[in-house]
């Protein structure tokens, strides 16, 4: 069992489970002796919304962000690509966004950084529904000195204050894709479909080029107002991309093929039969 699964087993079997109204004391501020020590040598998985916020914050394209700040580790039982924040190459492997005054991208920091000291676990693969068995737990990192000081938070207050709720809402469509029944039934994607997943979820600017500079809009009937929105609005484009992924990965009827394209296909099929 790898390190990640060992930790998950430990959480499921040994950690106290917290609900939204359970409370804890925590205080992290520039005066704690461990300030910013946790922003080093840590594995931070990035969601599509994390990448979108960070690349906007840094004023760079998604392609530049991926190249400069991320890694895409691969394990043999992995069915979809994941992205992690690349730590620095100094001896402490510090996060590229940490400074002596704290996080330089604080308002746009990733979901995982917002959650700490809370963790989220589930006995089975969660689809985010109420009966998924998900629970919160406290990650009592022994080097962290923010414990049992400062104000008391309920779990719900912490999630709200750290804007985790907004990030969760923005991640719902992504979660519905990654936890889709298609995978639960043991199916896997083709390399072309995996490439499309990567493009939509992680390289939003390149996905925009795909939509506007290929025959995409000639093949699919997309409402004119949506076309205008996704031209410049990254979040709208990401939501649109999730609909597109449901169509091209799982054959769901989330996109409408233009009638003339359907006719062309039928004509070509008829001609084939006549040959
Ligand atoms: S993004 Fe900010 S909060 Fe998260 S590890 Fe880096 S410096 Fe720390
Ligand atoms: S180790 Fe804990 S208290 Fe110290 S900076 Fe990190 S979160 Fe804050």
Confidence of residue 272 (pLDDT cuts 50, 70, 90): low
Choosing from 109, 111, 112, 114 the residue with most ligand 1 atoms within 8 A of its CB, the one to mutate for a pocket test is: 109
- Predicted local confidence at residue 87, as pLDDT: 97
Token readout for 131 is 């009966």
How many A from CA of 149 to the centre of ligand 2?
12
pTM of the predicted model as reported, rounded to 2 decimal places: 0.90
Atom of ligand 1 nearest to the CA of 95: 6
Q: Is 243 in the pocket of ligand 2 (CB under 6 A)?
A: no
Average pLDDT of the chain, as a whole number: 91
- Predicted local confidence at residue 79, as pLDDT: 87
Q: What is the pLDDT of residues 204-249, one digit of tens each?
A: 999 999 999 999 999 999 999 999 999 999 999 999 999 999 999 9
């Amino acid at each position: 069992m790898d390190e990640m699964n060992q930790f998950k087993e430990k959480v499921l079997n040994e950690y106290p489970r917290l609900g939204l109204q359970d409370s804890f004391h925590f205080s992290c501020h520039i005066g704690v002796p461990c300030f910013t020590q946790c922003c080093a040598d840590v594995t931070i998985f990035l969601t599509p919304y994390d990448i979108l916020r960070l690349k906007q914050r840094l004023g760079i394209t998604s392609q530049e962000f991926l190249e400069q700040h991320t890694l895409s580790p691969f394990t043999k039982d992995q069915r979809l690509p994941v992205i992690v924040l690349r730590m620095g190459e100094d001896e402490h492997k510090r996060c590229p966004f940490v400074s002596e005054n704290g996080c330089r991208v604080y308002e746009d920091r990733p979901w995982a950084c917002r959650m700490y000291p809370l963790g989220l676990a589930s006995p089975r693969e969660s689809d985010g529904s109420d009966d998924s068995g998900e629970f919160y737990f406290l990650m009592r990192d022994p080097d962290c000195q923010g414990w049992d000081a400062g104000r008391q938070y309920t779990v719900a207050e912490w999630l709200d204050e750290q804007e985790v709720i907004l990030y969760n809402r923005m991640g719902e469509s992504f979660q519905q894709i990654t936890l889709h029944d298609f995978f639960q039934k043991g199916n896997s994607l083709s390399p072309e479909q995996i490439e499309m997943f990567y493009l939509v979820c992680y390289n939003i600017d390149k996905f925009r080029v795909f939509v506007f500079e290929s025959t995409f809009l000639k093949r699919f009937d997309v409402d004119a107002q949506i076309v205008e929105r996704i031209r410049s609005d990254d979040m709208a484009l990401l939501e649109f991309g999730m609909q597109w992924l449901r169509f091209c990965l799982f054959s769901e009827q989330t996109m409408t093929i233009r009638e003339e394209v359907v006719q062309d296909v039928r004509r070509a099929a008829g001609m084939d039969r006549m040959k």
